[in-house]
Amino acid sequence: MNALLARPAQAPAAAQTAEQWLLAGGREVSLRPIVAADAAAEQAFFSALSLDSRHKRFHVGLRELSPGLLKLLTEVDQSQHVAWVVEALEPDHPVIADARYVHEISRPERAEFALAVADDWQGRGLGRRLIAHLAAHAGRHGVRYLYGDILADNRRMLALMRDQGARLTAHPDGAQLVRAVLDLA
């Protein structure tokens, strides 16, 4: 998670287009770059995740995002730190997923990703689509190795990464973590 906590925003968000996705079950959602004004929606999204999902995303038992972490997650430069939210096309447009990658500062061809999908929206193909989206975007923006540190008991995420062709490697911090690496070259 180090690269994901490495740097605050540096430049205005780059223009990226929004996309609409049709999910299994027929519900439509919209993917767009995160903006600073998403802070409240982002807090609501993470706070509403189950304890298990929050633990799998952050590897600690966060109850809610601290002001500093919230700022770090929402005020991104969309260049070194590239992040999206997915909104449900429903009244109030709640955020139902968050996906991001962060280039390492000294080795920008390496980037760490993270994502989370709201519990009620899991199992509809959103996670798979978000990983594919992250990999495609990162590959077009100079990333050769896109990696994520996954708790060893996060079977769904490990299966998803295996399916995407990731190498699952031992993590230097211990057996509780697995590093999944997508080679985008």
46 binds ligand COA (CB under 6 A): no
- The residue (of 70 and 97) whose beta carbon lies closer to ligand COA is 97
Q: How far is the CB of 3 from ligand COA (least distance, A)?
A: 12
Give the span between the Cα atoms of 72 and 91, in whole angstroms.
Answer: 27
Give least dist CB 81 to ligand COA, A: 15
Q: How far apart are CA 64 and CA 74, in angstroms?
A: 14
Q: What DSSP string describes 83-122?
A: EEEEEESSTT--EEEEEEEEE-SS-TTEEEEEEEE-GGGT
Q: Taking CB under 6 A as the rule, does residue 162 contact ligand COA?
A: no
CA atoms within 13 A on the CB side of 23: 24
> Rule CB under 6 A: is residue 160 a binding residue for ligand COA?
yes
Instruction: Check: CB of residue 107 under 8 Å from CB of residue 146.
Output: no
Which positions from 89 to 128 touch ligand COA by CB under 6 A, shown as an x/- string?
-------------------------xxxx----xxxxxxx
Tell me if 180 sits within 8 A of 148, measured CB to CB.
Answer: yes
Handedness of CA 10, 63, 148, 130 (dihedral sign): negative
82 binds ligand COA (CB under 6 A): no
Piece in contact with ligand COA (CB under 6 A), picked from 64-72, 86-94, 150-158, 171-179: 150-158
**Rounded least distance, CB 11 to ligand COA, Å:** 25
Select from 38, 82, 112, 148 the one that contacts ligand COA (CB under 6 A).
148
Work out whether 57 is an interface residue with ligand COA (CB under 6 A).
yes
The least distance separating ligand COA from the CB of residue 54, rounded to whole angstroms, comes to 8
Burial class (CB within 10 angstroms; exposed 0-12, middle 13-18, buried 19+) of 101? buried
How many angstroms from the chain centroid is the CA of residue 55? 14
Cβ nearer to ligand COA, comparing 10 with 28 = 28
Amino acid in position 32: R
**Residues at the site binding ligand COA, with contacts judged by CB under 6 A:** 53, 56-57, 114-117, 122-128, 148, 150, 154, 156-157, 159-160
